[in-house]
Amino acid sequence: MEALQADGEVMDRLLIFRARPIRTLRPLPVPEGFKRVEGQIETYGVLETIAEAARNLYMVEFTYTRNDGYTGTYEVEPYSVRAGFPGPNIYLFAYNPVKGRIHSFIVDRITAPRILEGQTFIPRWQVEF
């Protein structure tokens, strides 16, 4: 309750605090396959499609652009999505039956995901969606 009183010392501290400028962040550019939602960028469609495929044990196909600029199409068994540390990336971990190994994909680089409804898979590990 002291802060609401007209006590000089307490009021001075409040006024100094309120007088500080508020720094705002510049809006991020919206990459292809994303949409802006109330000031935030959301991976609309990408994660939802992959999650639906994983929950129903369907393989998923998508286009992925690697760090070196190469763009390719992948058909994988989706298992997990994890936040990268350190850094802002979100990773999809999926098994590629053609190459016989697990891959990690940065979700921001995935475009045109499609559920392959005729191609189910038997989980090799726990599906975490």
- Domain segments of the chain as ranges: 46-120
The model carries a pTM of 0.65
Are the C-beta atoms of 77 and 95 separated by less than 8 Å?
yes
For residue 87, list its beta bridge partners: none
Which numeric CATH code is attached to 46-120? 2.30.30
pLDDT in tens, 45-91: 798 899 999 999 999 999 999 999 999 999 999 999 998 877 788 99
Measured CA to CA, the distance from residue 123 to residue 129 in angstroms comes to: 13
Question: At 57, which amino acid appears?
Answer: L
Whether the Cβ atoms of residue 46 and residue 113 lie closer than 8 Å to each other = yes
Closest alpha carbon to 129 in 44, 48, 51: 51
Q: Is the pLDDT higher at 100 or at 44?
A: 100
Phi, psi of 107 (to 5 degrees): -60, -35
Helix (H) / strand (E) containing 11: helix 8-19
Task: For residue 104, give Cα distances in angstroms to 22, 66, 94.
Answer: 38, 11, 6
CB count in 10 Å sphere of residue 71? 10
Query: How far is Cα 32 from Cα 38, in angstroms, rounded to an integer?
Result: 18
Mean pLDDT of 40-48: 65
Q: How confident is the model at residue 13 (pLDDT cuts 50, 70, 90)?
A: very low
